[in-house]
């Protein structure tokens, strides 16, 4: 046992876990800064400028503020579930990073069913929202929680079905192998990314992913104008911060998955000295994720919200049949070739 604890494999694994966890938590904090800054610029405002240069220390100030705020639990709330809900929301959101390959060797565990693992883990995240809304024992949170559970179940279907085409082409469920299958180019200049083979699936995936993470234009669960704050109306202090972190972590996860499935993951030109070759894949990966994050923020600052019936109709009557048709056509082509 002790020998295992000081063995190089174990220490390397711990270093990876600590590095990835730290990196993810840090980028989650700066995602809030990025979101506020980009949204402000879209709306012709300067955004945060006071704390540090360009407001760069704003996330730290926000974090401290969350810590020192009074932690309120409503008297009529179900105390046990009220405390449990943010934990249930945050832990699955962070767990999914354990199978994401940030680079050729920068991955905590390459499971043979890695993709399904992420779907399983993220499907548990909905309980955080549902329990939080129910335990608050208040009308707005309950409405928000019910909307969100219906929405997440509906869009989970199209999200899962949209990746089936990619899986049939790559013939694997491991995220590491999915990336390596997309290395190289066609005709010397088009990268072998799945987005060129599965454009329809890509669009379905991106739309469903936005809905899964409860972001505008699909943020019916917390639509401020009707439901005050939706499922987290009654939450304050660190518990609210945990819900926020979970939402941003889910955003990062779906963006990372989109990159891995459709944009070739960490693949990209590697050049220069050895140390640069080591670092470049991770830089490509982070860069591709940033494109998705930027797109998310742009969407949030420009689009109005869907109406609830439109949202459900769009999922069941447009995305789901489209995803099924995509699977059918892809499987036909795979079977013939």
Partner 1 sequence: MIEILFFFFAALAVGAAINVLVQKHVLYSALSLIVLLSSMSGLFILLRADFLAVIQVIVYAGAIMVLFVFVIMLLNLPEDEDGADRLRWLKFLGIPLGLFFLFLTVITLWNVERQDIVEAQMAGTPELIGRSLFTDYLLPFEATSLLILIALMGAVVFAKKDL
Closest-CA residue to 284 (of 200, 183, 164, 203): 183
Cβ proximity to partner 1, 150 vs 228, nearer residue: 150
127 scored as a contact of partner 1 (CB under 8 A): yes
Specify the 3-state DSSP secondary structure of 331.
helix
Q: CA-based diameter of the chain, in Å?
A: 66
Among 106, 164, 173, 238, binds partner 1 (CB under 8 A): 173
138 scored as a contact of partner 1 (CB under 8 A): no
Residue 154 backbone zone (phi > 0: left; psi -120 to 50: alpha; other: beta): alpha
Integer Cα distance of 32 and 9 in angstroms: 35
Query: For partner 1, which stretch binds (CB under 8 A), given 115-123, 207-215, 238-246, 291-299?
Result: 115-123
124 scored as a contact of partner 1 (CB under 8 A): yes
Integer Cα distance of 193 and 201 in angstroms: 13
Among 113, 164, 200, 238, binds partner 1 (CB under 8 A): 113
119 scored as a contact of partner 1 (CB under 8 A): yes
**Site map 143..162 versus partner 1, x via CB under 8 A:** --xx--xx-xx--x------
252 scored as a contact of partner 1 (CB under 8 A): no
Integer Cα distance of 261 and 181 in angstroms: 10
Cβ proximity to partner 1, 149 vs 250, nearer residue: 149
116 scored as a contact of partner 1 (CB under 8 A): yes
Among 34, 40, 111, 312, binds partner 1 (CB under 8 A): 111
For 130, 182, 281, the CA distances from 265, given in Å and listed in that order, are 32, 8, 8
Among 32, 123, 180, 237, binds partner 1 (CB under 8 A): 123
Number of residues that bind partner 1 (CB under 8 A): 25
Query: For partner 1, which stretch binds (CB under 8 A), given 130-138, 194-202, 278-286, 311-319?
Result: 130-138
Cβ proximity to partner 1, 88 vs 263, nearer residue: 88
170 scored as a contact of partner 1 (CB under 8 A): no
Helix spans in the chain (H)? 2-5, 8-42, 58-68, 79-95, 114-124, 126-135, 139-162, 164-170, 175-180, 194-197, 199-212, 224-227, 237-262, 274-302, 308-313, 320-336
Residue 120 CB, nearest distance to partner 1 (Å)?
4
312 scored as a contact of partner 1 (CB under 8 A): no
**DSSP codes joined into one string, 179-231:** HHTT-SEETTTEE--HHHH-HHHHHHHHHHHHHHTT-TTS-GGG-HHHHTTGG
Residue 141 CB, nearest distance to partner 1 (Å)?
11
Query: For partner 1, which stretch binds (CB under 8 A), given 8-16, 44-52, 54-62, 131-139?
Result: 131-139
DSSP letter assigned to residue 98: G
311 scored as a contact of partner 1 (CB under 8 A): no
**CB of 256 within 8 A of CB of 118?**
no
Residue 113 CB, nearest distance to partner 1 (Å)?
5
Interaction site with partner 1 (CB under 8 A) = 111-113, 116-117, 119-121, 123-124, 126-127, 130-131, 133-134, 142, 145-146, 149-150, 152-153, 156, 173
């Amino acid at each position: 046992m002790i020998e295992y604890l000081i063995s190089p494999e174990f220490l390397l694994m711990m270093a990876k876990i600590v590095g990835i966890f730290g990196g993810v938590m840090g980028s989650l904090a700066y995602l809030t800064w990025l979101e506020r800054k980009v949204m402000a610029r879209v709306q012709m405002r300067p955004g945060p400028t006071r704390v540090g240069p360009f407001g760069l220390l704003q996330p730290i100030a926000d974090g401290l503020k969350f810590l020192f705020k009074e932690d309120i639990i409503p008297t009529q709330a179900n105390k046990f579930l009220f405390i449990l809900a943010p934990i249930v929301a945050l832990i699955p959101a962070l767990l999914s990073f354990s199978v994401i390959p940030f680079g050729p060797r920068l991955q905590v565990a390459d499971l043979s069913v890695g993709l399904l693992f992420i779907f399983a883990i993220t499907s548990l995240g909905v309980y955080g929202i549902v329990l939080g809304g129910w335990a608050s024992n208040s009308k707005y949170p309950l409405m928000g929680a019910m909307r969100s559970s219906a929405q997440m179940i509906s869009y989970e279907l199209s999200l899962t079905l949209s990746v089936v085409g990619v899986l049939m082409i790559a013939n694997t469920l491991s995220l590491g192998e999915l990336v390596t299958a997309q290395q190289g180019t066609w005709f010397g200049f088009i990268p072998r990314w799945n987005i060129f083979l599965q454009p329809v699936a890509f669009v379905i995936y991106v739309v469903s992913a936005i809905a899964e993470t409860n972001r505008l234009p699909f943020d019916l669960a917390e639509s401020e104008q009707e439901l005050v704050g939706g499922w987290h109306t009654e939450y304050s202090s660190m518990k609210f911060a945990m819900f926020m972190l979970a939402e941003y972590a889910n955003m990062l996860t779906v963006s990372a998955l989109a990159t891995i499935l459709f944009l070739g993951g960490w693949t990209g030109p590697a050049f220069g000295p050895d140390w640069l070759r080591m670092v470049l894949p991770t830089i490509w990966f982070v860069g591709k994720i940033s494109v998705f994050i930027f797109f998310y923020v742009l969407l949030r600052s420009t689009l109005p919200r869907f109406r609830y019936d439109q949202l459900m109709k769009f999922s069941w009557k447009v995305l789901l049949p489209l995803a099924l048709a995509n699977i059918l056509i892809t499987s036909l082509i795979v079977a013939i070739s």
